Amino acid sequence: MSDPAITPELIAKHGITPEEYERILAILGREPNFTELGVFSVMWSEHCSYKNSRPELKKFPTTGEKVLVKAGEENAGVIDIGGGWAVAFKMESHNHPSAIEPFQGAATGVGGIIRDIFTMGARPVFSLNSLRFGPIEGDTPEARTNRRLFAGVVSGISHYGNCIGIPTIGGEVYFDESYSGNPLVNVFCLGVLRHDQIARGGAVGVGNPVFYVGAETGRDGLAGAAFASRDLTEESKEDRPAVQVGDPFREKLLLEACLELLASGCVAGIQDMGAAGLTCSTCETASRGGTGVEIDLALVPKRETGMTPYEILLSESQERMLVIVKKGQESKVKEIFEKWDLPYAQIGEVKDDGFMRVKNNGVTVVEIPARALADEAPVYHREYAEKKTPEPLDLSSLAPVYVPAALPRLLADPSIASKRWVWRQYDHMVRLGATVLPGSDAAVFVVREANRILAATSDCNAIYCKQDPREGARIAVAEAARNLACSGAVPLAVTDNLNFGNPHNPENFLQLREAVEGMAEACREFSTPVTGGNVSLYNQNPAGAIDPTPTVGMVGLIEDPAHVTTQAFKQAGDTILLLGELGDELGASHFLKVLHGRKAGAPPKLDYAREKALHEGLRAAIRAGLIASAHDCSEGGLGVALAECCLSAEPQLGADIDFGTTGLSPEVLLFNESQSRVVVSVKAENVGAARTLIEKHGVPVRVLGTVTAGPGFIVKADGTTFEWDIPTLHDAWANTIGNLMA
Amino acid sequence: MKFAVIRFPGSNCDQDCLRALQTFEGASADYVWHKDSSLAGFDVVVVPGGFSYGDYLRCGAIARFSPIMAAVKKFAAEGGPVIGICNGFQILCESHLLPGALVRNRDLHFICEHVHLRVENASTRFTRTLSQGDVLRIPIAHGEGCYFADDATIEKLEAENRVLVRYCNARGEVTPEANPNGSRNNIAGICNEAGNVFGLMPHPERACDALLGSTDGRAIFQSLLSV
């Protein structure tokens, strides 16, 4: 069987532009063959090379005193948590595969991010995920598809995470038209390691043997990275072979074997085979090591016969690793792989010539300078549209809303409603770490081996980002930091997942640019360096691009178990305080979306000084033991936040709230989404002390009312009394998603 | 007292069991690899949760044929105490050390949450520090935990008082609503005829630390330790 000839059509089919092809000719000094063309096409895809986003990503702050491994250096960043211990964490998307095959798409997304973490030498200890789907209500074909995608993704995550025994302890789920047909599946994993255990992904030591270990290579996931770097279309369904199939049991074996291997001291370098599989791992390790790598494909364990070099190199079969072994230690390595019953083979060795050289039965099929392939992909400074300020919201244009019905409507909106249906399907308790069950402001996890308590959250309000990507991205970082503060934690660092539409559209590229700049600025303000992440562009469905969704994953540290704080009210009789202002910004709010069907107006304005003061004041009060519960105001404003504090209590509690005279209309008062606000409850005897301490930080404190045994949620404001029944609200909030999915 | 924690390649609660056991005075614990065939020197065997060999076929169906399970059977036949938790319970059923089977949950979803258990028989070596009627709050985490057996087996289990724990509500009432997975007679855990092999779907090792919200699981391990 001979390879096809290199024609302009074949080049275009590989997503390589004429200019890029010229560059390939210059690098090689000759025409590439068919296999080499395939290698360039995946390595220079957006997914692997970040060619469209790289100039933007450079704007992120990446350094800090706690940063041990910086963004981009290795598979994941590493952050010091004290006592000689560190954490490696990262977030990655599997949007396109999940749109085509939700179960395997999501499952392999989890598998991929877990491999990124243990490749660093860290034991993965928990996962989070940020998921977005089109609306799931109603009986339209679209809603049915969205429900199928939602159910499939959740069960894919559950299947993979539960089997491998890494708890999924939190995250977020949103529903919006813009994600119809193009769901977002962003998965986060965190691992722990000692400083001296950090593993590197460089092919160092000329003459060192290169081992392949893990699942046999098959034809699944061929060129998935290139697939992920295109728009999703009607025809994308035919790309199903580009979706990989996951085997969590194999990954479990691989995880344990690799950690054992790294502990044995036999490893010179290690790299997982994720996007672009064997291709990416060989040229990246060579490039990082400043060496060359030569492998022979005939030695690669294969699942199928008759695979061509092109197929073997571009396969994205899961659960595979490339290990550079210290020469002379081969027998120890083999012993460990055999103990774990893993297929393995010595497939090549480290060379000193800087080439990625691939042979097939001794015949050279690929010979490309590794660095040029891995690190010198073209970089594009994409055109971006001119920035527009969102139209101000004209409140008088809104039809009147019956406020007593508005609160249950908001609580029953799937984006706000309880996600218990989701997290009940995840094993969140394995590894004995989840001290706060999913559903509170942040997930809290005790890392037993390091005796540290971590808090983690993922956040992004995409309506804000649609209306103003810069402000929306700033707020995503601020909200993440606020969620950590509410849990009693000090933020350490950030990983991000930038989900946007096709970057060739100047409007989309403007969104990316604005969001990155906003996020970078906020990360500097909160002293949370970005340790790495992922860019997912081309998130389009036939109706257009998704709302810009720059998801922030933030990790923090809780100093003392006594500081762990949750959102639920604790006891009848406690006093409810609002830290921050009453607010009045209704633009881009969930209230507008749910009650008026509009994404309109400017998002709320973030004031860094006010926000930081709030976090400091709240943490000071938590450390002083004065706070019983804390919950930030986000989607749905103060009304939803207060209701959630009642509804998430077990057993449910009620509240008596009196705002006095505010001069605001009830819908603005209850549902505005002004930033820098937290609802806390405190024991009656602690009100004075809490107030003094928090006000000392310059944060306004207002007594809102009292926690009651229920069953009423009673709100008085400006001479009007609203009274809701807690069990009714609970039903709307707790059962909506389960009922829709039944 | 020395506990053997059996380690299949896909076990994922092995580390949790070891960690929980290490918090008990008088207990020591060590892993035993699935390819081993001896349990010499151990006083109690724990078959932990997880996905033994991936469990793509039927939970525990392959584990039954592992070298270590031959040793566990011998250990049990000689009267040694064996406790199987979650996947461990499934393996004990597949190995015919316990009757019946664990099938897909009633609603077909994996379920992870705290449930309540009523202690039905407090006279066994697994429950002797408890009292009959005690209500324990212990988490479950399984996709295939619906206990099933034919009528004759269920009648025999009930008649011989071999249902040790049953799903109930917080008040200790055994109701259909308190049954998370559709198990017959709300059965959460049973023992063999000799009373030395106990299998249960809930995870007592996840309820041994106040930080995790419950310490009700301790009584089960404490029972094994109080000879």
Considering only CB atoms, B211 lies closest to which of A256, A424, A561, namely A561
Instruction: Give B151→chain A minimum CA distance, Å.
Output: 30
Cβ contact A719:A646 at 8 Å: no
Considering only CB atoms, B110 lies closest to which of A158, A164, A256, namely A158
**Cα A588 to Cα A402, A469, A477, A514, A701, distances in angstroms:** 20, 12, 17, 17, 26
pLDDT score, position A1: 53
Looking up tokens 């605001």 gives A664
Question: Which residue in chain A is spatially nearest to B214 when comparing CA positions?
Answer: A435
CA atoms within 13 A on the CB side of A636: 23
Residue of B53, B85, B105, B110 to mutate when probing chain A, most A C-beta within 10 A: B110
Residue A671 pLDDT > 60, yes or no? yes
From chain B, pick out residues whose CB is under 8 angstroms from the CB of A249.
Answer: 9-10, 51, 53-56
| Residues of chain A above pLDDT 90, percent | 89
For residue B113, the one-letter residue type is: E
Question: Which tens digit of pLDDT belongs to each residue from B44-70?
Answer: 999 999 999 988 888 888 999 999 999
> Within 10 A of A541 (CB to CB), how many other CB atoms are there?
22
Tokens of B179: 């049954």
Find the mean pLDDT for residues A273-287: 91
Find the mean pLDDT for residues A75-102: 95
CA-atom Rg of chain B in angstroms: 16
H or E element: which one contains A282? helix A277-289
In angstroms, the CA A432 to CA A415 distance is 29
From chain A, pick out residues whose CB is under 8 angstroms from the CB of B105.
Answer: none
Residue A31 pLDDT > 80, yes or no? yes
From chain B, pick out residues whose CB is under 8 angstroms from the CB of A150.
Answer: none
State whether B212 and A429 contact (CB < 8 Å). yes
Question: Which tens digit of pLDDT belongs to each residue from A251-272?
Answer: 999 999 999 999 999 999 999 9
- What is the DSSP track for A154-220? HHHHHHHHHHHT--EEEEEEEE-GGGTT--EEEEEEEEEEEGGG-------STT-EEEEEESPB-ST
Considering only CB atoms, A426 lies closest to which of B9, B112, B212, namely B112
**Cα A566 to Cα A127, A170, A228, A233, distances in angstroms:** 19, 13, 38, 43
Instruction: Give A621→chain B minimum CA distance, Å.
Output: 21
Instruction: Give A445→chain B minimum CA distance, Å.
Output: 10
**Cα A504 to Cα A53, A344, A388, A551, B62, distances in angstroms:** 11, 42, 19, 21, 52
Residue of B36, B112, B209 to mutate when probing chain A, most A C-beta within 10 A: B112
Residue A243 pLDDT > 80, yes or no? no
Residue A240 pLDDT > 60, yes or no? no
Find the mean pLDDT for residues A362-391: 93
Coarse DSSP helix, strand, coil percentages of chain B, rounded to the nearest 5 percent: 25, 25, 50
Judged by average pLDDT, the poorest of A341-345, A436-440, B72-76, B129-133 is: A436-440
State whether A435 and B212 contact (CB < 8 Å). yes
pLDDT score, position A391: 85
From chain A, pick out residues whose CB is under 8 angstroms from the CB of B143.
Answer: 162
Question: Which tens digit of pLDDT belongs to each residue from B108-152?
Answer: 999 999 999 999 999 999 999 999 999 999 999 999 999 999 999
Residue of A319, A432, A435 to mutate when probing chain B, most B C-beta within 10 A: A432
Considering only CB atoms, B209 lies closest to which of A162, A163, A432, namely A432
State whether A162 and B53 contact (CB < 8 Å). no
In angstroms, the CA A97 to CA A183 distance is 10
pLDDT score, position A48: 87
H or E element: which one contains A428? none
* Residue in B13, B94, B203, B208 annotated catalytic: B203
Nearest to A709 by CA among A688, A733, A727: A727
Residue A630 pLDDT > 70, yes or no? yes
State whether A252 and B10 contact (CB < 8 Å). yes
Tokens of A521: 């600025």
Phi (first) and psi of residue A317, to 5 degrees = -50, 145
Find the mean pLDDT for residues A475-480: 98
pLDDT score, position A300: 97
Point out the residues of A that are catalytic.
47, 94
In angstroms, the CA A43 to CA A84 distance is 36
Residue A479 pLDDT > 80, yes or no? yes
Cβ contact A112:A94 at 8 Å: yes
Looking up tokens 């001291």 gives A265
Size of interface A-B (CB pairs under 8 A): 81
Question: Which tens digit of pLDDT belongs to each residue from A129-164?
Answer: 999 999 999 999 999 999 999 999 999 999 999 999
From chain A, pick out residues whose CB is under 8 angstroms from the CB of B56.
Answer: 249
State whether B20 and A432 contact (CB < 8 Å). yes
Specify whether the backbone of B40 is left (phi greater than 0), alpha (psi in -120 to 50) or beta. Answer: beta
Tokens of A684: 């009656």
Find the mean pLDDT for residues A491-510: 96
H or E element: which one contains A278? helix A277-289
State whether A432 and B213 contact (CB < 8 Å). no
Question: Which tens digit of pLDDT belongs to each residue from A43-59?
Answer: 998 888 889 999 999 99
Q: How confident is the model at residue A394 (pLDDT cuts 50, 70, 90)?
A: confident
Find the mean pLDDT for residues A408-416: 98
Instruction: Give A436→chain B minimum CA distance, Å.
Output: 8
pLDDT score, position A241: 62
Find the mean pLDDT for residues B147-164: 98
Q: Name the interface residues of A facing B (CB cutoff 8 Å).
A: 155, 158, 162-165, 247-250, 252-253, 256, 340-341, 423-432, 434-435, 437, 446, 448, 561
State whether B9 and A425 contact (CB < 8 Å). no
Cβ contact A47:A229 at 8 Å: yes
In angstroms, the CA A147 to CA A290 distance is 48
Considering only CB atoms, A253 lies closest to which of B9, B19, B143, namely B9
Residue of A427, A564, A565, A739 to mutate when probing chain B, most B C-beta within 10 A: A427
State whether A252 and B51 contact (CB < 8 Å). yes
Residue of A429, A445, A446 to mutate when probing chain B, most B C-beta within 10 A: A429
In angstroms, the CA A124 to CA B62 distance is 27
State whether B111 and A425 contact (CB < 8 Å). yes
pLDDT score, position A245: 83
> Within 10 A of A584 (CB to CB), how many other CB atoms are there?
15
From chain B, pick out residues whose CB is under 8 angstroms from the CB of A256.
Answer: 9
Q: How confident is the model at residue A223 (pLDDT cuts 50, 70, 90)?
A: low
Mean residue pLDDT across chain A:
94
State whether A425 and B205 contact (CB < 8 Å). no
Kindly report the pTM of this predicted structure.
0.96
Cβ contact A571:A707 at 8 Å: yes
Q: What is the ipTM of this complex?
A: 0.96
Angle formed by the axes of helices A726-741 and A141-164, nearest 10° = 90
- C-alpha distance across the termini of chain B, in Å: 10
Residue B90 pLDDT > 80, yes or no? yes
Residue A236 pLDDT > 70, yes or no? no
H or E element: which one contains A505? none
The residues, any chain, with a CB within 8 Å of residue B117's CB and separated by 6 or more, are B135, B136, B137, B138, B165, B166, B167, B168, B188, B189, B202
Told to judge if B205 belongs to the known catalytic residues of this protein, a careful annotator would answer yes
In angstroms, the CA A487 to CA A434 distance is 13
From chain A, pick out residues whose CB is under 8 angstroms from the CB of B106.
Answer: none
State whether A448 and B211 contact (CB < 8 Å). no
Question: Which tens digit of pLDDT belongs to each residue from A574-613?
Answer: 999 999 999 999 999 999 999 999 999 999 999 999 999 9
